[in-house]
Amino acid sequence: MTLHNEKILNYIGGDMREPESGDYIETVNPATGKAYALVPDSDTEDLQRAVDAAKNAFPGWRDTSPEDRAVIMNKMADLLEDNFERLVDAEVNDNGMTRGFASNVEVQRGAANLRAFAKASLEFCKPRHFKQDNAEGYVSHQPVGVVATISPWNLPLLLFTWKIAPALASGNCVIAKPSEITPMTASILSTLANDAGFPPGVLNIVHGTGPKIGNAITSHPDILRISFTGSTATGKAINMACAEQFKKPPSLEMGGKNPSIVFDDADFDTALEGIKTAAFANQGQICLCGSRVYVQDTIYEKFRDALVEKAKAIKIGDPAEEGTQHGATVSEDHMNKVLSHIELAVEEGGTILCGGKRHEMEGRCADGYFIEPTLIEGLDNSCRTNQEEIFGPVATLIPFSTEEEAIALANDSTYGLAASIWTQDHEKAIRVADNLETGMPWINCWNLRVLETPFGGFKNSGNGHREGVPDAMEFFTEKKTVTAPKLGGL
């Protein structure tokens, strides 16, 4: 018999609620391979209760001043910080991420997201006045009403708060669906929402699967905006469903197959460490990870050999233990998917330089889902391994000779989310960045985030919307222009 230490509940209308059907699904600790909690398998009845609660709460939340909304959001950030260790433990157990990553990146960003949008709302929600010779007036942003957010499993708290924060700050009521694979931090957040001061119905958290509750969200006529982060295939399906309801343009932040370009004039040690981190951070389960590594031929062999040694030295272990650098892959299904891609790379003619297989653990992690950091060379840029998103600790290496060739190789992809460029020639770095078909090129760094800048990608990595301050708030609002003759009345 499976022992479940916890039963997660939906958070609807300010109350913790069982799913109407009484149905639950298991969530598994990927480091141990053991189920440890039950998650609501919500359906349309649960969603309708959440929609009704949000609709009832919307007039009051819309009319709450930005200053008062900001106070509540900052209080929520305070509560996340007060529960820091509890949230870190939840991410380690739920996702398999290392304690260091959960502490230094994931949980800190959850609180920072709430604070950034709370601050931004104070200016964003103010009317912008204009005057001309014959007219005067103002432009205001108005919340649309009931909105939904669908967040993924790879950065559960970070991306959950990244989505709900702009929606709440701009005056909307939210129905948030976290991944059923990693529901725990969203569940903890729901237990803090009332103490933060959110009125009942302003924030609702409904758990369940994509096919069941996710599809119900995309088709519900009263949900007027949907913000989604996840795979390109799912994003396309959401886009098609929303197209049938013209009033609901989704914001889609989707996959990446990101290039890392190393020129021979790069600071060798800085680039080496940066490329390693970009390839293997959070077990390669970040949409921004650099999985295609292009190295100038004059330093290719030296850089390749040094990177292989770096990858071999990464400490794989129990993610709950301090000092572990590489934790578990999020689920057994995803582990098998990544391993199948490695097998495909060999079939396509690739040579595995290191890794390439499941990492066997002992003790409590003997049944966990661990994959060794894997580097592969000898593949053509057009092969499936270099074109399809793997979303695991797998990177390929390809040499190039000229700046133009590097740009062409990097742009030879259906994705265009991020990139990193490593060179000490500033003019060259800018030229390359300007010519890459990607939304976020980094120069001599990787994943250096400024929350007050647009986040998103080109091609199949997005659909034109951007997240970040203030772009996400633009998405969750409608602009209204009020104009009158210049009579001094406005």
Strands of the 290-296 sheet, one edge to the other: 351-354, 374-377, 394-400, 290-296, 258-262, 418-422, 440-443
Tokens of 84: 């820091």
CA angle 444, 274, 471 (to 5 degrees): 65
**Active-site residue, from 242, 287, 289, 365:** 287
Tokens of 275: 């490329």
How far does Cα 53 stand from its chain's mean position? 27
Asked about 287 being catalytic, the answer comes back as: yes
Q: Under DSSP, is residue 386 helix (H, G, I), strand (E, B) or coil? A: helix
Asked about 173 being catalytic, the answer comes back as: no
User: End-to-end distance of the chain based on CA atoms, in angstroms?
Assistant: 70
DSSP-derived secondary structure letter, 282: G
Q: How far apart are CA 47 and CA 228, in angstroms?
A: 17
CA angle 277, 280, 283 (to 5 degrees): 135
Backbone angles phi, psi at 32, to 5 degrees: -110, -20
**Active-site residue, from 253, 377, 389, 467:** 253
Burial of 411: CB neighbours in 10 Å, binned 0-12, 13-18, 19+: middle
DSSP-derived secondary structure letter, 75: H
Tell me if 35 sits within 8 A of 94, measured CB to CB: no
Active site residues: 253, 287
